[in-house]
Structure 1
Amino acid sequence: MSIAENIARVRAELADAAREAGRRPEEILLVGASKMNGADACREAIAAGIDALGENRVQEMVKKLSENAYDGAPLHFIGHLQRNKVNKVVGHVSLIQSVGSLELLDEIEKTAARLELRQDILLEVNIGGEAAKSGFAPKDAVAAAEAALSREHVQVRGLMTIPPADADREANMRYFQEVHTLFVDINENLFHNELKYLSMGMSGDYADAVRAGATMVRVGTAIFGARDYTL
């Protein structure tokens, strides 16, 4: 199937899941995770109406920016971001989804201040408590949101999470529901219900994520096809 056909299929599944949950399909933002896909694939996705594109790797993102790969759609950074590469991302993307430490938050604040702009971010929640994964522990998420509120050059727009890869469907849903509860609490108590994005769900579980309350999903292989990691 073509990228356009894949996007149409994913949107139909997202719409069904949204209606099952008593929500409107248009509430769900579809981000095409375009890692290891070239500029032409990005352009195809944009032509097919993708809501945004998301990149995991700074070097790949910079190369594709130079090729005007993202013209016509917002660009998100969705991967692990090292502090020494923040200057290549801030101001070049509309949203950084993976802010999972106070040190990274401060580096983004410093860079955005130097550029005299305000960078939209999501706070990443390490819902599974995985040592190898970045993100705030759920118990620290409120404090992280409070810290972000005190920074003048970042704007929190919501939360992001990635459940453990080995979780079964039942566990996955539980993780999604826990982050949704955290999102609602932070939104009500700190942000006066102005937070817009709860980013969770990827190619294997995006429909369940929507059933659990996601407003944004990050879909790669289900749109672009299997990645070739041997290249």
Structure 2
Amino acid sequence: MSSPHQTLLNRILTDNLKNVVDTIESTCLRCDRDPSEIKLIAVTKYAPLEAVRELNRIGLRVYGENRPQQLVERAETLVKDSGWSPSEWHLIGQLQRNKVRAVLPHVGLIHSIDSVKLLSHVDRVAEENGASPAVLLQVNTSGEESKSGFTPEKLLEDWEQITAFDNVRLRGLMTMAPFTEETTRVRKTFSELRRILADLNATGQLPSMTELSMGMSSDYQIAIEEGATMIRLGSTLFEGTSELSTDT
């Protein structure tokens, strides 16, 4: 039997998830897209562990973590919980080369490959472990110096090297929009990523990449309008749960 605490937590998360799903569906209707094309990733960076567990019980199965060490810790801890079996963990934050070996066994997709050097290291570790991790290339389409990622120009310059690795599976691209209320700038950041993906696919050097990871709690509707296939939401999904947390 659920405790009053768990019942309240469940209600908050159920309402949050329903609001997000309803928004995804209405946005897709507006731009003539199929909602099933959009993968919702729950970002757990600031989420209490019990809230993540409860969201999984409700039915969301894809989780993204910014910090490699926390991803490993949560993946190892929660896999022991028979009631908690997410189908996918994604690393969406910066990946240091010294964390690659620890992360690979737990991660279904790495969103944040931001250099040939990092990609080369992931490829080498994958070969040593008989793995073939799926990755996205992070592209800085906003032009902000504070953001990591390939510049569009550097990505094209390095494309021949990028496509030469045998042990990683390139699935698409990722970007982050500037934190601004200027929707024109946000939209341009996303539309530029879509254009770059089309240009890279047109080279014919790889099987077509299909994923565009773009859009967070503040801008995911615009991202969907511009072709996002993955959106990364944290605060919108977990709003109201920190106050209830009993995690220590």
Matches within 5 A, 1:1-231: 2-68=12-78, 71-166=85-180, 168-190=182-204, 194-225=208-239
1:132-168 deviation digits (Å, cap 9, x = unpaired): 2210001122344433321111010000000222361
Q: Displacement of 1:192 after TM fit?
A: 6.2
For structure 1, the residue ranges without an aligned partner over 5 or more in a row are none
**Separation (CA, whole Å) in 1 of partners of 2:124 and 2:206:** 26
- Equivalent position amino acid for 2:86 in 1: G
For the 8 Å contact 2:217–2:235, the answer to whether it is kept is yes
**Separation (CA, whole Å) in 2 of partners of 1:6 and 1:205:** 16
Q: Displacement of 1:39 after TM fit?
A: 2.8
Q: Displacement of 1:206 after TM fit?
A: 0.5
| TM-score of the aligned structures, taking structure 1 as reference length | 0.91
**Separation (CA, whole Å) in 1 of partners of 2:185 and 2:241:** 26
Name the structure 1 match of 2:8.
none
Q: Which moved more, 1:101-110 or 1:141-150?
A: 141-150
Mark the CA change 1:128 to 1:226 in structure 2 (over 3 Å): closer, same or farther: farther
Q: Equivalent residue of 2:104, what SS?
A: coil
Q: Displacement of 1:191 after TM fit?
A: 5.8
For the 8 Å contact 1:51–1:74, the answer to whether it is kept is yes
Q: Equivalent residue of 1:13, what SS?
A: helix
Q: RMSD value over aligned CA atoms? A: 2.0
Q: Return the index of the structure with the highest Cα Rg.
A: 2
**Separation (CA, whole Å) in 2 of partners of 1:195 and 1:51:** 23
For the 8 Å contact 1:160–1:200, the answer to whether it is kept is yes
Identity %: 33
For the 8 Å contact 1:146–1:190, the answer to whether it is kept is no
Q: Equivalent residue of 1:136, what SS?
A: coil
Aligned length: 229
**Separation (CA, whole Å) in 2 of partners of 1:48 and 1:110:** 38
For the 8 Å contact 2:66–2:91, the answer to whether it is kept is yes
Q: Equivalent residue of 2:105, what SS?
A: coil
- Equivalent position amino acid for 2:60 in 1: I
**Separation (CA, whole Å) in 2 of partners of 1:209 and 1:167:** 14
Q: Which runs of 4+ in 1 moved over 6 A?
A: none
For the 8 Å contact 2:51–2:241, the answer to whether it is kept is no
| TM-score of the aligned structures, taking structure 2 as reference length | 0.85
